[in-house]
Amino acid sequence: MPKVLISDKLSAAAVEIFRSRGIETDVRTGLSPADLRAIIADYDGLAIRSATKVTRELLDAAPNLKVVGRAGIGVDNVDVKSATARGVVVMNTPHGNTITTAEHAIAMMFALARQIPDASASTKAGRWEKNRFMGVEVTGKTLGLIGCGNIGSIVAERGVGLRMKVIAYDPYLADKRALELGVEKVELDALLARADFISLHVPMTDQTRNILSRAALERAKPGVRIINCARGGLIDETALADLLRTGHVAGAALDVFETEPATESPLFNLDTVVCTPHLGAATAEAQENVALQVAEQMSDYLLSGAVTNAINMPSVSAEEAPRLKPYMELCRLLGSFAGQLSSAKEGVIRRVVIEYEGLAAQINHKPTTAAALAGVLAPMMDSVNMVNAPVAARERGIDVAETVHERDSEFQTLVRITIETSGQTRSIAGTLFAGSRPRIVEIKGIPVDAGFARHMLYVTNEDRPGFVGRFGALLAGAGINIATFHLGRAERGGDAICLVSLDEAVPTDVLAMVQTLPMVHQATP
């Protein structure tokens, strides 16, 4: 039974989702990093919000961990690179708090435009400073969005509804989507020059860090007002404070800061700044939504292999997971077989090609290709799985290609894996018998028909009389029982293949004797 630890506060309904699906669940919030490291080895899943830090040290102490689920969109508190290297899926919930965060950005814009926080404080203090708080309308103004994804697109729709002119800088925004939203796509410099309000909606990456640098802020339209409900570190806060003092920037509304909790900042003593303590997702609806969503996603993965909203792995929906599972197993087994053959002789793997025919051509290939790579790399590295295999292949300079054939196939479904090394090229093909049982149907272009077994011996030999007798007698003399025996050949008297499944592993000394038999070219367990 899978076991999940919830280390940050989630709703009782989320906890019940885990338990109702048969997952053992412990709720232990407020743990110190040391206390969390001391117990994490017992768990398959870790559900968190923003308080828990999933560091490399924590992952090193978690040999059984399979999935980390973040109830929220940001994964700044998760070392995704280390998790990927260890084969741990990292999931977030990008849609559960999108409306809440977008609404907060709009609220911050209005608060900034009408100086609502200062006006409220002044009025409560008994001062009636009506003439002091002269605001600006948003109607007719230009709203510039840096980022127009899940949250940014909602802000865009709200901005259009407020009769604002909305422009957006987002390299990933399709022209068709921009047209649907009523947004004009522009480059960053054009946005800076034109926008009366700038709202940021991008993740924190090396490319977006300090996207509003001092130089960028100086290029902005005089009197611009800036809203950031995305991530701290997107704005040079010192430069922003300086330009607020000069009046080049008329105001700023910030929900996020470079260092959080933000207990001090050069922005805090400025009347033109509105601040909130990272409240973008802080509504009852959003907190409940992301908690329920992460519980469902983690449960689906642990129980059925379905992958939703993963940061470091291709998605597999709950509906397609049962259908893909036998294909992924077929690809893993074929990859493992091919990888073992390739590691039998010296030669660096340069290229892996996965071909899909028949029904296999119609499936979601990203997870099956990842499974194939995991099998290929298993003989040469420890703890490889579908999560870290694609990364490991890239790090080793292995070119990976997928080929989908629409042609008619001899089999209802067929997957072929070809490995090119510095020495030679090998291929193996397989199918699913009765829709779910993996079978080998071809090795190096030679037809065979064999199932997979725990202990197998692959032999290439010359197709001449006497080989089968000598080979069988040698195994019998060693007390090794043959479970199944499969032969194939390219042509009479040419290269042949012998593939046998055995009741036990072949001892090293027996393998050496097989390798020295007359007519044997290669013998690989």
* Cα–Cα distance list, 460 to 226, 440, 443, 476, 499 (Å): 70, 16, 10, 19, 9
Render the burial of 77-102: b for 16+ CB within 10 Å, e for the rest: bbbeebbbbbbbbbbbbbebbbbbbb
- Which CATH number do you get for residue 141? 3.40.50.720
Q: What's the CA gap between 355 and 424, in Å, rounded?
A: 19
Proportion of the chain in helix, strand, coil states, percent, rounded to 5: 35, 25, 40
pLDDT at res. 343: 56
Same-domain check for residues 268 and 359: no
As given in the structure block, the two tokens for residue 202 are: 């991008």
For the chain, what is the domain count?
A: 4
Same-domain check for residues 127 and 46: no
pLDDT at res. 180: 94
- HEC per residue, 39-63: HHHHCCEEEECCCCCECHHHHHCCC
As given in the structure block, the two tokens for residue 404 are: 């989908």
Q: What's the CA gap between 168 and 275, in Å, rounded?
A: 24
Single-letter amino acid code for the residue at 56: R
CB within 8 A of 512, min separation 6: which ones?
Answer: none
pLDDT at res. 147: 96
Same-domain check for residues 77 and 104: no
Same-domain check for residues 299 and 436: no
Q: What's the CA gap between 328 and 331, in Å, rounded?
A: 5
DSSP state of 507: P
The three-point CA angle 79-82-88 to 5° equals 95
Task: Let me know: does 308 contact 350? Beta carbons within 8 Å.
Answer: no
487 in a domain, yes or no? Answer: yes
pLDDT tens column, 75-89: 889 999 899 989 899
As given in the structure block, the two tokens for residue 469 are: 């007798």
Domain's final residue, options 451, 480, 504? 451
Q: What's the CA gap between 313 and 327, in Å, rounded?
A: 17
Task: Let me know: does 339 contact 376? Beta carbons within 8 Å.
Answer: yes
Same-domain check for residues 457 and 446: no
As given in the structure block, the two tokens for residue 392 are: 């490991």
CA 440 to chain centre: 31
Catalytic residue list: 231, 260, 278
234 in a domain, yes or no? Answer: yes
As given in the structure block, the two tokens for residue 26 are: 């412990």
Task: Let me know: does 221 contact 194? Beta carbons within 8 Å.
Answer: yes
Task: Let me know: does 48 contact 54? Beta carbons within 8 Å.
Answer: yes
- Which CATH number do you get for residue 366? 3.30.1330.90
Same-domain check for residues 345 and 425: yes
pLDDT at res. 344: 47
Task: Let me know: does 36 contact 8? Beta carbons within 8 Å.
Answer: no
Same-domain check for residues 131 and 86: no
As given in the structure block, the two tokens for residue 64 are: 């059984």
Same-domain check for residues 397 and 517: no
Same-domain check for residues 480 and 407: no
pLDDT tens column, 234-260: 999 999 999 999 999 999 999 999 998
Q: What is the pTM of this model?
A: 0.64
Domain ranges, residue 416: 314-451
Nearest CA among 449, 445, 450, 457 for reference residue 494: 445
Same-domain check for residues 161 and 270: yes
CB within 8 A of 411, min separation 6: which ones?
Answer: 357, 358, 431, 441
Side-chain half-sphere CA neighbours of 162 within 13 A: 21
The three-point CA angle 510-348-386 to 5° equals 90
Q: What's the CA gap between 514 and 476, in Å, rounded?
A: 12
pLDDT at res. 411: 84
Nearest CA among 412, 407, 410, 399 for reference residue 354: 399
* Cα–Cα distance list, 30 to 27, 35, 76, 217, 298 (Å): 10, 10, 19, 40, 21
Contacts of 389-392 spanning 24+ positions with Cβ under 8 A: 391/84, 391/85
Same-domain check for residues 122 and 252: yes
191 in a domain, yes or no? Answer: yes
151 in a domain, yes or no? Answer: yes
Bridge partners of 430, per DSSP, are: 415, 440
Provide the greatest CA pair distance for the chain: 108
Q: Which regions of the chain are under pLDDT 50?
A: 344
280 in a domain, yes or no? Answer: no
290 in a domain, yes or no? Answer: yes
309 in a domain, yes or no? Answer: no
Same-domain check for residues 138 and 261: yes
478 in a domain, yes or no? Answer: yes
